[in-house]
Structures are given as structure tokens and as C-alpha cells.
Amino acid sequence: MLVVLMPTDFSENARNAAYFASQLFKYRQAHFYLVHAAEARLPVAAGSPEEDELPGQEAEHLKALEDTLQNTCSSLSEKLYNPRHTFDKRLLQASLKEGLNPLVRELEADIVVMGTQGCKARAERSFGSRTLRALKGLDCPVLAIPYNYAYEPPRRVVFATDFRVPYKRRELKLLCEVSGSYRSLIELLYVSDSDALDPGQQDNKRFLEEALHKAHIAFSTVSGTERAETILDYLGRRGAQLLVMVNTGHGLVDRFLEQFTLDYVGLHVNIPLLVMQNRERPVG
């Protein structure tokens, strides 16, 4: 069974991401966990009257969050009903940055699906800092859904790769199953001034073809000195519904994502972004 974690701040954007996840995996047996991270309490001076009141206030705060999370989970379960799907909740008494990876390992999660912004006022930037940290720091794939994105089946998928990193079978299997459900076309996009691949790249290319056997595969090579801009330009011309990249910790995905922390006009991904992780998961 597929295990999907869905962080929520109870915003409309988080609900939209949950809806997207339920639609994307509607053909799969899946267990969805709605995850909320309780913010750490503000420090108070030792010996102050406020310090004595903190335990009771914290308990009340956590109980209120637990109730809100339960109500949200029940509401989503009803609205997104699918006999193949079950819903559960987890309240983290830590920040999302600190608590999400341990939960990924505990539940052996297959993927984290999250909205990129919870506040409409910041919708002019496709990816906020919290999303960027999750995309690059988690031990499982992360699917980021842009603000206010209306679900579309992933009929056309662009997989940006340099064919230089080994790919994990578990994550490719997930992409293979999803693409097979929708008979997707996966375009393996190579940004380079040369079509020639070295032997290692050729091996990785063949491995990708074999691992994604349920999809239709096409290969494209485009030239460009600014890889992020080149990928975005390609997306705009191809009408894709999903962009896939692999996080190596020092490669293409880093150069691509870092550009979103700058105010480059027009550099916005307006389709979902799936980032797969090129590292082994810690045990426990």
C-alpha cells in the first residue's frame, strides 16, 4: 500500500494539495497521513507568573490543534472518498523541518505531497523557503503543488536529467506506476550542447527506459547556458503537467531551485514539481 504524507497548516492551499494527491493516486491503494507541526512555544523568563501557566496553556493548545486536525482529516475523508483510500493524522510536537523526516522513516512513507504556499499574499513566488528545505532535505520523494493549481492528470511529464546520477528503483517504481495509470508520455530532458553521452550516462539512460516501462518514453536534448531558464522555457512550450527532477545534493536540482529564492521575473514553475532523492534512507 502506498503511504502518503500530507503536511497541512489548515490553509486552502494545503487542502488543494490533499485533493491533488487523492486524484493522482485514485487508482492505487493508499494510506494518507495528514501531518501538522505544532510550533514551539515562545520562551518566557524563569520564575515569572507566565512560566507557571505554560503547562496548562500548552496542553490546551495541543488539544485544540489535535481537534482541528481530526476535524480536517474527517472532512477530507468524506469529501475525497475513495474505497481504495484511508486517512489518518499525525500531530508533530516539533517543527516540520525537525519532525517530518523521522515520521518518513517511522511510517516508511513513499512520498510527501505539500502545497507550496499557505498564504495568498506570497503567491507571487512559486516556492517558499519551507518548501525548498523539504524538497532538498527529505529522505523520500516530495511532490510540491503550486498555489491554486487546478488538478490535471499527468499526461505529459518532463523529467529533467543529466543521466549522471544512479536512480533509486523504489522511487522510479512510484513514477512508473503513476505514469502507467495515465498512459503518460515521459520526456527525458537533457540540457547540453552535445547529444553525445558517455558510457555511464548511456547506462543510466537505458536503466531509466527499463524502470519506466509502463510509460511512453521520449528523449529531448536542448542547449542552454542557464539550465533553470532552459527547463522553464521548455516546459512553457511543451504543455506538461508534471516536472520531475532528482536531488543529488549538489547537482541540477540545486542550481534550479536556488534561482527561486531570487526575484527573477517570470521564473515560476506553475505545474507540480516532483523531486526524487538520490540518497539512501537512514534506518529507524
Q: Which residue has the cell 512560566?
A: 51
Q: Report whether pLDDT(273) > 70.
A: yes
Tens digits of per-residue pLDDT, 117-153? Answer: 644 444 444 445 566 566 667 889 999 898 888 999 9
Tens digits of per-residue pLDDT, 37-55? Answer: 886 554 444 455 555 555 6
**Which superfamily does CATH assign the domain made up of 2-145 to?**
HUPs (3.40.50.620)
- Specify whether domain 156-277 bears CATH 3.40.50.620: yes
Same fold, 2-145 and 156-277: yes
Query: So what's the pLDDT on residue 206?
Result: 93
Give the pTM: 0.84
Q: Which residue has the higher pLDDT, 224 or 71?
A: 71
Average pLDDT score, the chain: 81
Query: So what's the pLDDT on residue 253?
Result: 59
Task: List the chain domain ranges.
Answer: 2-145, 156-277
Query: So what's the pLDDT on residue 207?
Result: 93
